[in-house]
Structure 1
Amino acid sequence: MKTFVWFDLGYTLLYLNRENAYRQALSEAGIELSLDRIDRGFHFADKLFMREYPGLFGVEEPGVYMPWFIGRMNYELGIHLDINKIMSRWIEIRNTQPRQWEAYSYCRPVLSELKDAGYKLGVISNWDNSARKLIDDFGLTQFFDTIVISSEVGVSKPSPEIFDIAFEESGSSPADGLYVGDNYYDDAVGSRSVGMDCCIINRFGNFGVEELKGCGIIPDIRGVKSFLEWMK
């Protein structure tokens, strides 16, 4: 029986304010696309880069790969624009936003429900030194028994070491836990390497992760409790 649920941060508990800004930048360039289509475009590029370039998001500054990322997304969307111009305008618009990251609206209720059901909760995330402040700003710190951030411990997923640190700090074992994250190649590969079960967040069915076999997939963390019940 599982007693501990571990979470990733990005696109598991938090998401970037990026699609509306990109839609505005495209509109200014004379291209009108629905927000849903742009959302799927970002999702496609996210999953492509996770699969083809494992670890890139966690070790490189966005400026290193972003032109490449935007170019691949635009190709998927059927857009032919100057990448540097559209990217620069997109960044300008995003910089006017009060926050770059937001917590999903259902995040606090789901975490509260899991705590009330008796589960211990934790975070294992590849993130810079802004992680704890973000978690605290969104009122999430209260829900977590253990928080392990790659920038603080010097190792990152999928290395078994970061999971071992989490187990040591929490006094739990791999068999006790379920890991929930959106990046198969960091999250499932890493957690499975230490013998911990994992389920993957994918908001669009199997779109973008068609290659995954034998892995539990849920659309968002609202499915975690049912997944835990199914595992019993």
Structure 2
Amino acid sequence: MRVPVRWVLWDVKDTLLKVRRSVGEQYCREAQRAGLQLSPVQVETAFRQAYKQKSKLLPNYGRAQGMDSQVWWTGLVRDTFGQCGVHDLALLDRLANNLYHNFCGPENWEVFSDSTGTLKSCTALGLKQGVVSNFDRRLEGILRGCGLLTHFSFLVTSEDAGVAKPDPAIFSQALEQCGVPASSVVHVGDHYVKDYLTSRSLGIRGYLLNRQDGQTHADIPPEHILKSLDELPARLQQDTD
């Protein structure tokens, strides 16, 4: 007999919300306030390179090296603008501080049009909801500012958990908070490995969100793929009875 669903766990970035403008554009807007004229394309390229390097050397905001996310992001902003010819340390620190706090609120984030309605529908089905995200400690404030926080009973961020997806340990921490077997839990996310495969490896019912209808994976049954969050409530209703 199939165990009924009791909880829905959510990824956040690119599942429930996304950055409002490209990183290059948003970094350049802040630089412009400081009197700098930079190319968004150049800054975006520099950011991606710096992010890749820092994530490899100091994964998960440098938690294992005793760092916190603000220190980690400050270093990333310095590296990004440094590649673009900005070397004034005081200016770099000011840019980093401003950008860190700019991304704390809703002005730089956009909620997908199908997010709020789906979260409400899950609540109406009697399901409890939580978050499992490779995010830093700003997530609570962002979700509050975007009007989504009240839907969740708990948030597990990789910074607070000390581990990041695809490490299954972050899902194990979430399951402890759910207090039910993994088979009674659903997870929804947009990443094939970090969200779908990792949650499924623990017995969680993983769904892969594929908004762009891009790369397909032959090993995923069609019923595990969502092209929109609007499709989720009907599938869950079948599993909650």
Q: Is the 8 A contact 1:12 1:220 kept in 2?
A: no
Normalised to the residue count of structure 1, the TM-score between the two structures is 0.65
The answer to whether the Cα contact below 8 Å between 2:60 and 2:164 also exists between their aligned partners in 1 is no
Gaps spanning 5+ residues in structure 1: where? 30-54, 68-82, 86-94
The DSSP-based 3-state class of the residue aligned with 2:188 is strand
Question: Residue 45 of structure 1 corresponds to which residue in structure 2?
Answer: none
CA distance in 2, matches of 1:155, 1:21: 28
Normalised by the length of structure 2, the TM-score is: 0.62
1:190 and 2:198 matched: yes
Deviations 1:173-202 (A, max 9, x none): 211111000011101121012111111111
CA contact (8 A) 1:202 1:219 kept: yes
Q: For the aligned residues, what is the CA RMSD? A: 3.8
User: Hey, what's the Cα distance between the residues in 2 that align with 1:211 and 1:15?
Assistant: 23
Question: SS of 1:186's equivalent?
Answer: helix
Tell me if structure 1 keeps the 8 A contact 2:60–2:158: no
Q: State the percentage of identical aligned residues.
A: 27
Please say if 1:17 is aligned against 2:17.
Answer: no
Q: How far apart are residue 108 of structure 1 and its match?
A: 2.0
1:98-109 map, 5 Å: 99-109=107-117
Q: Indicate which of 121, 136, 157 corresponds to 1:113.
A: 121
Instruction: In structure 1, give the amino acid aligned to 2:6.
Output: T
Q: Cα–Cα, structure 1 residues 157 and 20, in superposed 2: closer, same or farther, change >3 Å? A: closer
Q: CA deviation at 1:19?
A: 5.5
Work out the number of aligned pairs and report it: 184
Unaligned regions of 5+ residues in structure 2, if any? 29-38, 40-54, 62-71, 86-98
Provide the residue aligned with 2:6 in structure 1: 3
Cα distance in structure 2, aligned partners of 1:225 and 1:164: 24
5 Å matches for 1:53-64? 59=60
SS at match of 2:107: coil
Give every structure 1 segment of 4 or more consecutive aligned residues whose post-TM-superposition deviation is greater than 6 Å. 95-98
Question: Which among 120, 133, 142 is matched to residue 134 of structure 1?
Answer: 142
2:208 pairs with one of 200, 215, 218 = 200
Other-structure match for 2:166: 158
Alpha-carbon displacement from aligned partner over 1:117-176 (angstroms, at most 9, x marks no partner):
111111111101111111111121211122111111101112121111111122122111
Name the larger-Rg structure: 2
| Aligned counterparts of 1:212 and 1:127: Cα–Cα separation in 2 | 29
Q: Judge which range, 6-15 or 101-110, deviates more.
A: 101-110
Cα distance in structure 2, aligned partners of 1:59 and 1:170: 24
